Structure 1
Amino acid sequence: MSSTSDKRRDHSCISCGISISGTDAAKFDCPECGTLIYRCSKCRKQSNLYECPDCGFTGP
């Protein structure tokens, strides 16, 4: 069960670090370990690399 603070927590783009709250961001599971990853629309459009903080998987 999620707490209220978890529901309101701001998330950041894994590539550039900006807050994605209220933006057209993507949320997906890491292909290797399943960790939740957030990316802003600008980084997705530019195919900026990201690295999973848990397993080190790198993707565009």
Structure 2
Amino acid sequence: MRTESKQDFWSQFLGHLQTVCSPAEYANWIQPISLKSYDSASAVLSVPNVFVQEYLLANYK
């Protein structure tokens, strides 16, 4: 069984988001996010500030 690295998982996820978000939306809201950890049930993300956090929760939850 192959286990996917955190970086591989995140790169694939970001690649998917680029296909469903506009370039501006991706650059402004998605690109600043970083992946802290993940498992089979959840992911822990880091955002640059509370404004970005609130926007993401309001628009992408």
Provide the TM-score with structure 2 as the length reference: 0.28
- Whose strand proportion is higher, 1 or 2? 1
Q: Which has the higher contact order (CA 8 A, sep 6+)?
A: 1
Provide the TM-score with structure 1 as the length reference: 0.28
- Whose helix proportion is higher, 1 or 2? 2
